[in-house]
Structure 1
C-alpha cells in the first residue's frame, strides 16, 4: 500500500474575470500528504483553499501541474477515472453536511457504498459500525432534520468514510457549529482519521483546531507555506 496518499507538484490555477483580466489563484503548489497525517490548511476567505481542495479531490482541474492519488498519477485523467477515484479513494466533508434529507442517517452512509458495489448487508453493517464509532448509533434511523448540527456533521464524516478512502478532504467542517460543538466534532474527525490511518487535509479558519494537527500549511498569495514544523500533534 502506498504511503503517499496525495501528491501535488507545480499546481497552478488562474480564473479569468473578463477578456483581459485574469486572477491567478494557485501559483506552483507543491504538497505531499502521507497516510496517517492530519494536516491543516489555513487561509483567509477567497485565498483559494477551496480551489486547492477541489483540485486535490479531482472535482476541478489545474491549468498546469501534476496530481497523484494513492500512488496513481491522475494528471489528465478522464471523467470516468476521476469519478472512480473519488468514489473509492477520496472522502469529502464540507461546512454544510449536504445529507440527503429524505433518507435516515444510516441510509445516507449506506447509499455511497451501494454505488460502489457493496452488498446491502455489508453496507448496513459498515454504517452501523461508523455511527457507533462516532457515538450516535442511537440516531441511525433519524433523518437529518431531526439531528442536531453536530450530529449532522458526524453523519457527514461517516458518509465520507463509508468506502474506506485513503484521502480525506474537509473544507471548514466545523465552521457552521458553535465552539463547544465544533471542538467535539473536530475531535471525532481526528479520532476517525487516526484510527483508520488515512491522510487528511483539513481547511479551517480556527487556529486552535489547526494547532492540534500534525502540520499547518498556510496559503498565501497562491503559494503554500509551512507554518509549523512537522510534529505529531495530539487530537
Structure 2
C-alpha cells in the first residue's frame, strides 16, 4: 500500500462564524494524496479550493477535522512548529509567480534554501540544476522583469522544489498564461513532479490539464467528490 503523504479527514471551515453572513466553505472534507500521486482539484470560483489548499499547506487552520502530513497530525501544533513543517515538507505554487523583483532567477531559488540552512554554494548548485531541468539555465542571471510569463512561472516551480518538499500544492499554476504557454509550462511542471517522485495537489479550472493527472477531485458546495 502506498504511503499517504497528505490526509485530511472531516475538515470543516466557516467564515464569519456566528454571524448572519456566515459561509460554510468546507463541510466534512476527506482527502488523501499518496506518495508520487498527482491529484487535480477542480472547483467553481469561490467554492473554497484556495481555502482547502491553505489548510493542507498549514497556512490556515480548520474549524474541525484532522490534517496529517507524512502521518503526523498538524492540527494543534504551535505556529513555530507549523512553520518548520511547512518550510521543510511543503512547496507552494500560485497563479502569479510572486518572484522577488530585485533578485535574479537563480537568487530567487537560492533564498528559500538559505532560509532553510543550506550552505550558499550548495544552494546555488541546486538552483542551477533546477533551472537546467526546466530549460532556462541561460536565464539564471536575469531578473523577473526580463523574463517572459512562462519563464517566470518556471522559476517559481524551481523555487517551490528547491528545499525538496514531500508535498507540492499549486493553485492555478498556469492560470495567468495564454493557452499555448500554459500547456508547455504545465508539461514542464509534470516532468519535474514525476522526476522527483513528489506528491502534488493541483487546483485548476482547465479540465484538459486535470485529465492529465492521476486523479480528479471536484469541490462544490463544501463537499469533495471523485471525478469531473
What band does the TM-score fall into relative to the shorter chain?
Answer: over 0.9
2:196 matched residue in structure 1: 196
Query: 2:113 — aligned with what?
Result: 113
Q: Partner residue of 1:141?
A: 141
| Structure 1, unpaired ranges of 5+ | 229-235
Which residue number in structure 2 is paired with residue 209 of structure 1?
209
Deviation readout 1:54-76 (Å, 9 max, x if unpaired): 00000000000000112211111
Q: Counterparts of 2:104 and 2:5 in 1: how far apart (Å)?
A: 31
User: Any idea what the Cα deviations from partners look like across 1:43-88, whole Å, max 9, x if unmatched?
Assistant: 0110000000000000000000000112211111110111001110
Aligned to 2:73: 73
Deviation for aligned residue 1:116: 0.2
Residue 82 of structure 2 is aligned to residue 82 of structure 1? yes
List structure 1 segments (4+ residues) > 3 angstroms apart after TM superposition.
none
Distance, in Å, in 1 between the alignment partners of 2:13 and 2:116 is: 31
2:61 is paired with a residue whose SS is coil
CA RMSD of the aligned region, Å? 1.1
Aligned residue for 1:29? Answer: 29
The structure-2 alpha-carbon separation of the partners of 1:19 and 1:224, relative to structure 1 and needing over 3 Å to count, comes to closer
Q: Secondary structure at the match of 1:185?
A: helix
TM-score (norm 1): 0.95
Q: Is structure 2 residue 218 aligned with structure 1 residue 218?
A: yes
**TM superposition score normalised by structure 2:** 0.97
By how many angstroms is 1:199 displaced? 0.5
1:20, distance to aligned residue in structure 2 (A): 2.5
Give the Cα–Cα distance (whole angstroms) in 2 for the partners of residues 119 and 3 of structure 1: 31
Aligned equivalents of 1:19, 1:42: Cα separation in 2? 29
Which residue is equivalent to 1:180? 180
Per-residue deviation at 1:22? 1.1
Please give the alpha-carbon distance, in whole angstroms, between the structure 2 residues aligned to 1:152 and 1:174: 11
Aligned equivalents of 2:127 and 2:135: distance in 1? Answer: 12
Distance 2:20 2:207 in 1: 37
Offset of residue 17 of structure 1: 7.4
Match of 2:151 in 1: 151
State which drifts further: 163-172 or 66-75: 66-75
- Bigger drift between 9-18 and 216-225 goes to 9-18
* Count of residue correspondences: 227
Q: Secondary structure at the match of 1:225?
A: strand
2: CA distance, partners of 1:98 / 1:17: 31
Residue deviations 1:24-55 (CA, integer Å, cap 9, x gap): 00000001101110110000110000000000
- Per-residue CA deviation, residues 102-161 of structure 1 (Å, 9 max, x unaligned), is 000000000000000000010000000000000000000000000000000000000000
Report the Cα offset of residue 19 of structure 1: 3.1
Partner residue in 2 for 1:231: none
